[in-house]
Amino acid sequence: MFSPELIAQLAVELDHSEKTRVQVEHFSKRYPGMSVADGYAISRAWVQMKIAGGRVARGHKIGLTSRAMQISSQIDEPDYGTLLDDMFFEPGDIPAARFIAPRVEVELAFILKKKLEGTHITIDDVLDATDYVQPAIEIIDARIEQFDRHSKTMRKVQDTISDNAANAGIVLGGRKVSPQGIDLPWVGAILRQNGVVEETGLAAGVQGHPATGVAWLAMKLAPWGEGLQAGEVVLAGSFTRPVAAKAGDRFDADYGPLGRFEFHFV
C-alpha cells in the first residue's frame, strides 16, 4: 500500500494537471507495485481535496462496464468515481477549455429517491430506490496520459481509477422516466458528431441491465461504511465506445422515446 504522503502527493499532481491541462505520466510506470486499492486511495484523496476547496459531491459514475473493456483493462469488474457539482452541464454550450482530451460516452443516469446500502443488493432493489432514469452523456478526460509519451504503452486500470475513473463532466437531457415504466435494457441511443452517426447502442451493453452496475457500486461501497444516498445521481456506464471531442464539435444524442438533445464544445 502507498504511504499517506505518497497518496497526497499524487492527488496534488492530478489536481495540478486538471488546472493546467498538462497531463502527467503513468503512476503505474513510476510506481510498478501500484495496486487497484492504491488507485482508489489516490482518487478519494483528490476528491476530498476538491470538497475541501468548496466542491460538492452529487453522485457517482461507474466505468468499464462492458466485457470488452474489462478484458482490455485486465480486470473482472467495473470501476467507479465521484461526480462533483461543477461537472454538471445543461445541453448546449460546453466549454472545451475545461478539458484536456475530452471524449463523449452515451449512458443512463439513475437519480435515487432512497438510499442503497448493504452487501446484498439486487436489480429490483435499485429500481425500487430510483426516482427516475434520464438520458445522460458522460464527458471523460485524462489527467494521466492515455499512452505513455515514451513507450506509447497504454495506461493501466490503476491509473484510470486514481484519475477519478476519468470523470470530468455530465450532460443530463431528454425525458425523465420511471424505471418500472420502461424496459431499460432495450433503451437505445444514436450519437451524431457534426451530423455523422458515430455510435449506436443498447443499454443492455451495460452488463445486461444498466441497474446491475448501480447494485454493484452500492455493495462495493459497503466495506467503507458507505452507500448510495437519496438525491444522488449515478451514471450506470457507457453502452457505446468513447468518441473524441474538440472545440467546434457538435453532438446530437438521440434516445428515441426518451428524447433528444444537442451539445457543442465551444
As a whole number, mean pLDDT of residues 181-185 equals 95
As a whole number, mean pLDDT of residues 21-35 equals 96
Task: Name the pLDDT band for 67 (thresholds 50, 70, 90).
Answer: low
Full strand arrangement of the beta sheet holding 188-193: 92-94, 260-265, 250-254, 188-193, 196-202
pLDDT at 152: 92
Range of the domain at 41: 4-265
Percent of the residues in the chain that have a pLDDT greater than 90, as a whole number: 91
CATH number at residue 134: 3.90.850.10
Check pLDDT > 70 for residue 184. Answer: yes
Check pLDDT > 70 for residue 72. Answer: no
Task: Name the pLDDT band for 73 (thresholds 50, 70, 90).
Answer: low
- Number of domains observed in the structure of the chain: 1
Check pLDDT > 90 for residue 244. Answer: yes
pLDDT in tens, 126-176: 999 999 999 999 999 999 999 999 999 989 999 999 999 999 999 999 999
As a whole number, mean pLDDT of residues 45-73 equals 84
pLDDT in tens, 91-132: 999 999 999 999 999 999 999 999 999 999 999 999 999 999
pLDDT at 69: 55
As a whole number, mean pLDDT of residues 82-87 equals 98
Q: Find the farthest-apart pair of alpha carbons in the chain and give their distance in angstroms, rounded.
A: 51
pLDDT at 27: 97
Task: Name the pLDDT band for 87 (thresholds 50, 70, 90).
Answer: very high
CB atoms within 10 A of CB 21: 13
Per the prediction, the chain carries an average pLDDT of 94
